[in-house]
Chain A
């Protein structure tokens, strides 16, 4: 009997007990699945170049993509504004999925309501669902703002959000002057980063359209963070750096507090975020700066159209990327970069120098959203590593060209390649045929770690199977230090694991490394 009162076995060890192993064998003998030999053969075959070629010849089938759909980005975007409820117009299952997905990463509550459209709405349209939905959401959750996005159902049947929201207001669902910005977010176009972009643009348009403020009237700078699973640590870190510089800034959406509420007995459905007044005033800002270019193209275009100066970055992670952000902010604001930040920079460089012997020449595969991959590859190059396989399911041709330019700018980039619109099954072939030392990405990479034995370093959304990483920054010099340490921890753990069998491999089990 495997289970005992004294030592209750969890599923891991429990199912390795002989009783269960024997049962699995009995089942396997008659389950009609592929035989052991066929499985072994196919398993080997998938590791080779021939399979890789077939794999890269796929035109329709997508396997283990590293992207989600637009409305997830819209729900994330809404979390960055004060007392804002996200309203997902369409099928209700989508809202349940977005909430679950974000909660699993942040280990925090995530709210969103749905207009719960079903068959009849598919035929007649979802106007009544909008009218009733806004009224209920307003009464129950007492938000200051409701932001509307769409699921693919509402998009396919062509529901018109502008008209519907106007109609709902006319019917008294919410007061006429209540803010209901919206964005169409079709799941079959782009990915969650485009949904984020559309939602932010929709919110800005709503507050800036008939707004008399003149761009440049104030000295502040608007910051558009982009879809960022590390927003909790990152936004606070950026705020700290800008504070040191004495720059006035407004986050266009800051979900740091919303996704990091304290446990003190009170459930805060809403916490923190950019206020409506701040949003309105943001039109008068001197400039709008996007931390993630590929997340913010439409938003920046719109900011430029109201007369603001714009600039965009690719997730300011690492030394030079942080330098560039600070210098740009300094140029825009006329504020000098203080000595304190120069010292911080020096400390990061110091740490990199201390560890350079271990990092030099290490080979990496990196996957994730296009800006993250670009940032990470750049930092790896700064450490003397080679970002050999850089893959982004939602990165396009322009992104790949950017990446190539990055590789061309460093001797360490010589054998590196960017793979746009590819998925993690492509990456599996790459890792088998051209192995690397480390894989950097999100939790979905754990299946690649298992299959190819490439150690996975989790540094981007979604991280489901490790806790609390997102509470610490990865951008800026401080963030760079954390990324560096995370990579080194994995590296040293691996080194120790490879040298820790007493009397056999422990010759190199060094106390000091």
Chain B
């Protein structure tokens, strides 16, 4: 582990000043609050060390506020947070993208939430189901259409477990009552129908969509938990906030099962509605993506008395720490098994680090992802000897930045809701060995000759969770950085852009 590096904080401060100079004054002032450099903190010797370890730096910036118009924010919307993230992966439900055709079209199959099922028959994850609003639906309202859409879904997909209505922008603007339709039709067809008010204009990012989606689970799903068929056991847990991207939740589930736990529900990757309904029967909620599903964990704690615990399955250091932490909750027998799991995978971990460590040691990484990974994956890189030069979130809240201080080294550049312009300049100045961000950022960075991995979709690879995933993660970072293509960018007859004299 390379935990002793520092970044060049002074240079990073300078880069911030430089990018801000390009904005109109009013907006330079506003953007300034979102950009920072991690400052070392001297922990008091007797300060209590929390479960995330000692606080290394102070990373706070303004966050979770409106994006500035016209700057090319990388953020998405509430619909993306609800349909795209939380609800979309629930596989046996039909999710209606309710409104015009686009939102469902662009998000179709793009999150890579893997599932087992026969698509179109008993699973519906990789389908684009929409009410395809036309002008008349806007003028006269879409409730009648929704009514008919639900009937037609029943005819086409009789084996669906339920339906969700994912609102697009117009729904909330034209005054439709999707709750009334959902309630009435749900009784009529005898299935759960969940209306979700995740119109894209609500809130400032995907984040409010997560919250609204969580509230919809609370209000329309969990009230059925009493009827759920599930013989509760002493080691029942829910995996919460793992969307099974590239199979993440499966690589995680295996480890938890190996240490003797039973998974009651997986929210929401590869999930069924039944799994979600019975979740209150579990003994513990294990939450991976804190940002998108902490709300429902807090609710279940309050209402059903189920404790919740965060864990991190990126990279061996965090996996081992998480397995031990989870095991402690269940006592010596499970703790013993957790140690066995860690020991069983140790040769694999050592082998991976031995193989890839020398190829990756000291390589600098810049990250810009959603609401969790910008801190959660840092140690996975460090396990491989890599260093994080900058990190930032699209839609984190204040607590996320506070907690980032447990991971970020002094001098790390911190950027919240970064704009296309800023990210391009920061990458250009720092010239890291790798950038991890999204599809919109991938190609601009690669054009600069800097290796890139998509860290939302795992760049069509994965899983990255668990030990099985760590092997793939390490391999992927190596293949990105050490591919020979990066050495081909300069034509041999040019030198610094000038054509060499041909006649020499």
Contacts and interface: CB of A to CB of B under 8 A. Distances in A.
Nearest to A107: B443
Contacts of A4: 348, 351, 471
B177 to A, nearest CB: 17
A507 interface: no
Contact of B122 (A11, A39, A59, A134): A39
A186 B99 CA distance: 12
Interface stretch (B214-222, B246-254, B380-388, B401-409): B246-254
B18 interface: no
Contact of B131 (A54, A60, A95, A117): A60
Interface stretch (A14-22, A221-229, A362-370): A14-22
Nearest to A121: B201
A108 B445 CA distance: 10
Interface stretch (B74-82, B179-187, B361-369): B74-82
A97 B102 contact: yes
A122 interface: yes
A344 B200 CA distance: 51
B100 interface: yes
Contact of B254 (A23, A54, A61, A87): A23
Interface string B447-461: 111000000000001
Given A186-B135, A187-B102, A8 B114 contact: no
Of A60, A103, A134, the most chain B CB neighbours within 10 A belong to A60
A188 B173 contact: no
Interface in A147-161: 151-153, 156-157
Given A60-B131, A136-B24, A140-B421, A54 B156 contact: yes
A54 B153 CA distance: 11
A4 to B, nearest CB: 7
A110 B440 contact: yes
B108 A156 contact: no
Given A72-B102, A153-B170, A153-B200, A92 B76 contact: yes
A5 B126 CA distance: 32
Contacts of B105: 65, 67-69, 101
B305 interface: no
B447 A268 contact: yes
B447 A261 contact: yes
Given A54-B156, A97-B107, A263-B447, A113 B71 contact: yes
A505 B468 CA distance: 39
A138 B22 CA distance: 10
A451 B168 CA distance: 30
A275 interface: no
Contacts of B169: 90-91, 151-153, 156
A33 B447 contact: no
B303 interface: no
B442 interface: yes
Contacts of B41: none
B437 interface: no
Interface stretch (A24-32, A278-286, A290-298, A384-392): A24-32
B440 A100 contact: yes
B101 A65 contact: yes
B155 interface: yes
Interface in A18-66: 19-20, 23-24, 26-28, 30-34, 38-39, 42-43, 46, 54-55, 58-65
B447 A109 contact: yes
Nearest to B154: A61
B76 A97 contact: yes
Contact of B156 (A92, A134, A425): A425
B352 interface: yes
B424 A267 contact: yes
Interface stretch (B1-9, B44-52, B267-275, B371-379): B267-275
Most buried by B among A38, A55, A100, A134: A100
B355 A39 contact: no
A96 interface: yes
Contacts of A265: 447-449, 489-490
A99 interface: yes
Contacts of B72: 95, 111-114, 137, 140-141
A144 interface: no
B392 to A, nearest CB: 16
Nearest to B132: A62
Contact of A187 (B101, B153, B352, B491): B101
Q: Chain B: interface residue count, which band?
A: 35 or more
B71 A55 contact: no
Contacts of B468: 2-3, 9, 14
B116 interface: yes
A140 to B, nearest CB: 5
Contact of A267 (B77, B133, B168, B448): B448
Given A59-B148, A91-B77, A111 B420 contact: yes
B201 A141 contact: no
B70 A132 contact: yes
Interface in A430-448: 444, 447
B467 A3 contact: yes
B395 to A, nearest CB: 11
A61 B24 contact: no
Contacts of A31: 272, 274-275
Given A103-B440, A263-B449, A60 B161 contact: no
Interface string B332-364: 000000000000110010011011000000000
A61 B129 CA distance: 7
Given A11-B461, A32-B275, A87-B70, A136 B23 contact: yes
B159 A264 contact: no
Q: Which one of B27, B68, B277 has the highest number of Cβ atoms from chain A below 10 Å of its Cβ? A: B68
B10 interface: no
A135 B272 contact: no
Contacts of B33: none
B201 A119 contact: yes
A408 to B, nearest CB: 31
A141 B421 contact: yes
A91 B200 contact: yes
Contacts of A24: 116, 250
A10 B461 contact: yes
A188 B133 contact: yes
B443 A109 contact: yes
B106 A156 contact: no
Contacts of B421: 140-141
A10 B137 CA distance: 45
Interface string B428-451: 000000000011101111111100
B64 interface: no
A117 B199 CA distance: 12
B227 to A, nearest CB: 12
A136 B168 contact: no
B138 interface: yes
Interface in B404-418: none
Contacts of B253: 23, 27
Nearest to A192: B102
Given A1-B344, A265-B489, 18 more contacts: A3-B472, A8-B471, A32-B277, A33-B123, A65-B130, A90-B169, A96-B73, A99-B440, A108-B443, A109-B443, A109-B447, A113-B70, A113-B71, A135-B27, A136-B24, A140-B71, A156-B170, A428-B120
23 contacts: A4-B351, A15-B250, A23-B250, A24-B116, A32-B275, A33-B117, A42-B121, A62-B132, A91-B200, A93-B200, A93-B206, A100-B438, A101-B106, A109-B440, A116-B66, A122-B201, A135-B24, A136-B70, A152-B133, A156-B169, A267-B447, A269-B444, A447-B120
User: What 10 A-B pairs are tightest by C-beta distance, nearest first?
Assistant: A32-B274, A93-B77, A69-B102, A133-B70, A133-B69, A5-B351, A97-B106, A136-B70, A187-B100, A61-B152
Interface of A: 1-5, 8-11, 14-15, 19-20, 23-24, 26-28, 30-34, 38-39, 42-43, 46, 54-55, 58-65, 67-69, 71-72, 87, 90-101, 103-104, 107-119, 121-122, 129-130, 132-141, 151-153, 156-157, 186-189, 191, 261, 263-269, 425, 428, 444, 447, 451
